[in-house]
Amino acid sequence: MKQADFIGELRSQLSGMGEFERKEILLDYEEYFRDGKASGRSEAEIASALGSPNQIAQDMLEQYSEQVLPVTSNAGYVTKEHSGLSWFKHAWHLCKQAPLMWALLAAVFFVIEMTTESSEYYLLLSYINDAFFTYLVVLFAFGIEQNKSLLKCVFNNRNLTALPNIFLALLVWLLLIFVIEYTASVIGGRDFSLAFPAAESTWPELIFSILSGIFFSVFVLLIPALIVINEIRPVRAYQMSVIAGLQYWRQMLSAILISVAWGLALVVIVLVFLAISASITGLRSEMGKILTEEFFFTALIWFALLPLGIISYTAWAAIFRDGSLSHKVS
């Protein structure tokens, strides 16, 4: 058997393995052929000495299954590594598994958000609230797929020992956020403040905030899962999240945009439903008062964009649990 035939058959038989591991094995066998030919042996002799590609692949797959089984044994949904749409579908699948739990979680953090609105430190408290919301979303999503109760997800020794890392990661995250917020205030020509913004944002400031927010989200998206699931230290978690962001930015961006589009579509559907209901019942003025309330819109957006928070978990599942970077956390 010639080298090309041997490597081609081995590659085909290893299709059930992760992309990174498959490439590593194929490179090793290509090196075997290279060394053998350098010593004067023919490709047929080298292939015969190595054995059947089918048997080699079978042995390698058995070893691979034993290595990845502890990570994926209870996973109820396999996410496609290179599809942002698949990441969103995974998030929606998790939403459907426990809708009341997700609604309760969003409601609790929404109430916290509204109670801090009048504080002079609103900006700081809001970002802390959002961060802890994301960490809990990741924990609950992981618990659903591991068939664990909510209490076991939060109050177990593994997660409690991760608390210092969570706080350290949060400090770094807040520092980066404040740099972005300060830059936005300079662009908007206003004084930087931690209080609820009293004036409307200018268009340049708004555009900068949206673009920097998306860019920032792509590169920190995986940090919560890496810290609470894989127990990786904050500095290393940031490094790995940035590396994954550079490699999968298209998928991350598409998953984020799909989630935002889904949320906006849901908001529009609810508003149309309320408008039709008001027209039928004759309660237009009362309904108009509700629709002008900031409380109503904030609540609606929080619930509509819940899958966006779960993307932090599903992206981790696609890349570090089932994908080619799984060896980085094993």
- Express each pLDDT in 28-55 by its tens digit: 888 888 888 888 889 988 888 888 888 8
Higher per-residue confidence, 284 vs 111:
111
Separation between Cα atoms, residue 76 and residue 87, nearest integer Å: 14
Full-model pTM? 0.69
User: Average pLDDT for residues 108-131, to the nearest whole number?
Assistant: 81
Q: What is the pLDDT of residue 72?
A: 39
CA distances from 128 to 60, 132, 202 (A): 45, 6, 25
Q: Is 229 exposed, middle or buried (0-12, 13-18, 19+ CB in 10 A)?
A: buried
| Among 40-44, 184-188, 218-222, 278-282, the least confident range | 278-282
Contacts made by residues 231-240, CB under 8 angstroms, sequence distance 24+: 231/158, 231/161, 231/162, 231/165, 232/165, 232/329, 233/165, 234/165, 234/168, 234/169, 234/172, 237/165, 237/169, 238/169, 238/172, 240/320, 240/325, 240/328, 240/329
Q: Report the candidate in 88, 197, 192, 74 with the shortest Cα–Cα distance to residue 143.
A: 74
pLDDT band at residue 271 using 50, 70 and 90 as cut-offs: confident
SS3 content of the chain, % helix, strand, coil (to 5): 80, 0, 20
Question: Model confidence over 181-201: pLDDT tens digits?
Answer: 889 888 888 888 777 665 667
